Structure 1
Amino acid sequence: MLAAYRTRLCVTSAILAFLGVGSAHAGETIDLGNGASFTIGGAVRASIRSTDGDTDGFLESARILTSGQFNKVIGFTFDTEIETTGGIFPYLPGDPSGIHVLDAIVRLEFNDYFNVWAGRMVLPQDRSNLDGPYYLGVWDYPIVSAFPNHFQGRDDGVTIWGQTGGGKFKYWAGAYEGCRGESPCATGAAGGGDLLYVGRVSYDFWDPEPGYYVASDYYGKKEILSVGFSTTYQDRATGTSLDPGHYFGWNVDGLMQKKVLGNNVLTLEGAYYHYDTDDKSTPLVNGNGYFLLASFLIDHDFGPGKLQPVIRYEDLMSKNSYDISRVETGVNYIIRGSDARVSLLYSKTNYEDPNVASVDQFIAGLQLQY
């Protein structure tokens, strides 16, 4: 599994023109009257990577995103992903190319305190997954965030969620298909009726983050001091039919983002992960990991955007394979928040195996949303 990750680390992507449709959070909304509406949007991410001297380019992600309301309570989300690099979640390999259903959700939103989503959706396993790749503080998805999922951090199931204080306290609880059937984490033990259960709570001490999703960078529009805790469990998710085992994982994460020295924005983020596969055979990570991130958005215009130096360190300590550590550092060029951003970064990935060489990579990435 981790060897497959290293192979995908060497796959690269090229910058291309924006498709011209909007993002999941913006887009173009058509008012249909009587509380009904329809929104369409989209987003693209592309990069050029030089890996140990080999340079190439590829489209990483292109999404068409739609949502709508039938009335004040009933709504839907339907998003697609055109993906050509094998994914932003490479530790669970899937179809390396093609058009995929990203989200297909029926939303029953009764009030702030109680809502029900059913279908294929983002699992509330940690802040990074609720961010998604477009709303992280650095370009690549963290290698230490390795919970089971079907595709791109999603799975099919039902989530109950709500909030108080306008989004200061939030909870999520859900049941999903998990490691069975065609899921990339399925083993010989999977195939029964055992579901994957996920629960999460978070609290914002400063500005609230309302809604199901979050972000790891608000670029000065919010001041955030947030902590979150998540658990993930599935019985008969690992091992074989004759020797099955359970899967249990948990994570704690935190984000601080505050204006300092005027309107400069200091961001500190960290997360710790624990994965227990019952010491059975499985493609899932068994072990622990953490990451630490710091960035500083400079309150000065450099052309149409602002510069944001950033550094992140990750360490994945696996019991069923060798350890991986990675440091990424460079600068983000913030033109319009997460809707228009360029990243120029260097990363070095080390493998605690004398037979596996470290990987040096330079990344030039562009993401656009509307």
Structure 2
Amino acid sequence: MKFKMKKCALLVALATSAALPSMSSQAAGTITFGEDKSISIGFGMIGSFSSVENGAANGSSRSNDFDLNSARIMISGSLNKYIKGILTTEKDIAGEGFQVIDAAGIIELTPNFSIWAGRFLSPSDRANMAGPYYSLGGNYWASIASRYGFNGGYIGRDDGVAVVGNLLEGRLNYSFGVFEGNTAFKIAPVAGQVASVRGSDGLMYAGRLQYDFWDLEPGYYGTGNYLGTKDILAVGIAGRTQNNGAVSAAEQGKYSSYSVDFLLEKKGVGPGALSLEAAYYDYDTDDVFLSEQGKAYSAGAGYIFNEKVGWGQFQPFVRYQKFNADSKIDIKKYDLGVSYIIDGYNAQVSGFYSKQSTTNVSDIDSIVFALQLQF
């Protein structure tokens, strides 16, 4: 038995080319015990300090809070060349325990085709597939534009099965699956949503297609930004539907959504690399939840400098999100900040200013500093 530390994405180790980002993004401890047999374990955390205008209990003073936004234990394993698996936990809302968010078996029939079964991220937009650990700016969850409270209940995860693969020499990536859907959203409950008795028990169907024009992005779980390591020009489309996917205490209706996302990253643009991203979303709950039905938009831009300053590189960024709900309550948010990239997504510090505007509600200004570590 041999124990070794290697620099790689932990979830890449679980399924090599069939699984997650291929960029170096996380250190993990790997125990190997035979040909194609291994177990990897890793830990990730995001902590932050935030100061929010009128966020104190009296309603008029700024709040000042330290938060443990995320704490994850990640385990992956390989039984042989074809059978692999993952287990990921996330702290619960109270921060006093952990719950399972990923628990999936992966059958890798060929290097270009695999079957996932269990609980995992269902096919969706780039922002949801990347999550807060692998997105531009650090500690970033695109929850205003990328809304998956109805279909995918465990931080975007759901129970089901999916096929994952690629064609055209790896340029066309696809994933299609069938899932439980309509799952109680444990981490961030949606007001009025229930997961109780339904008139029928239809499944949710979800899929994603992505074409890579420049460098390839192999894998299933995505990366929101490559931090100047790749030239990326990619367009993706995603959709999901469930006949009884929107269920309230009084009524139920069909849930459907689709999105289009775009990412461009180019090295050698002056003294660094430029990144541009954008996405469009359309959500329909059959008028059951007008507050979750409507159109959404997001955009972002970043620039990472090649030259290191001290331990790492600076990456200033700007982000924008907007959700036009059919309830006539619109939400938009701007972020302006800078990240200090010490070791890719293993170690980085970010600070940003945010302004969120909601119809008939006072604007919220906040300043956030976040630390992300993965081992």
Counterpart of 1:318? 325
- Relative distance call for 1:369 and 1:273 in structure 2 (3 A) is same
How has the CA–CA distance of structure 1 residues 166 and 339 changed in structure 2, closer, same or farther, with 3 Å as cutoff? farther
- Could you report, residue by residue, the CA deviation over 1:4-63 in whole angstroms, capped at 9, with x for unpaired residues? xxxxxxxxxxxxxxxxxx954541111110321111111110000001121111111111
The normalised TM-score by structure 2 is 0.84
Q: 1:71 to 1:294 in 2, by over 3 A?
A: same
Out of 83, 95, 104, the position equivalent to 1:74 is 83
Residues in 1 aligned to 2:349 and 2:92: alpha-carbon distance in whole angstroms:
20
Give how far 1:161 is off. Answer: 1.0
1:360 aligns with 2:368: no
> Which of residues 62, 70, 76 is equivalent to 1:61?
70
Distance in 2 between the 1:346 and 1:181 partners?
Answer: 32
1:222 aligned residue: 230
**Alpha carbon RMSD of aligned pairs, Å?**
2.1
Measure, in 2, the Cα distance between the counterparts of 1:55 and 1:198. 40
Structure 2 residue aligned with 1:106 = 105
Matching residue of 2:141: 141
| Contact residue 45 and residue 59 of structure 1 kept, 8 A | yes
Name 2:58's counterpart in structure 1.
none
**2:170 & 2:97 partners in 1: Cα distance?**
36
Equivalent residue, structure 2, for 1:15: none
Q: Which residue type is aligned with residue 125 of structure 2?
A: D
Give the TM-score normalised by structure 1.
0.85
> SS state of the match for residue 133, structure 1?
coil
Deviation at 1:302, TM superposition (A): 1.4
Deviations 1:251-309 (A, max 9, x none): 00000000134550100000000001111247x71000001101111122211011111
The answer to whether the Cα contact below 8 Å between 1:189 and 1:236 also exists between their aligned partners in 2 is no
> Residues 69 and 274 (structure 1 numbering): CA distance in 2 closer, same or farther, change over 3 Å?
same
- Is it true that 1:295 corresponds to 2:294 in the alignment? no
In the comparison of the two structures, how many residue pairs are matched?
Answer: 336
CA deviation map 1:224-261 (0-9, x unaligned):
00000001100012256885310110000000000134
Asked if 1 retains the 8 angstrom alpha-carbon contact of 2:316 and 2:337, the reply is yes
Identity of aligned residues (%): 38
SS across alignment from 1:130: helix
User: What secondary structure is seen at the aligned counterpart in 2 of 1:358?
Assistant: strand
SS at match of 2:362: coil
SS at match of 2:128: helix
CA deviations over 1:340-364 (Å, ceiling 9, x no partner):
11111000000111xx211111000
Structure-to-structure mapping, 1:1-370, within 5 angstroms: 23-25=10-12, 26-52=27-53, 53-84=62-93, 98-138=97-137, 139-142=139-142, 143-147=144-148, 148-165=151-168, 167-180=170-183, 185-186=193-194, 190=198, 192-239=200-247, 243-262=251-270, 264-281=272-289, 285-320=292-327, 322-353=329-360, 356-370=361-375
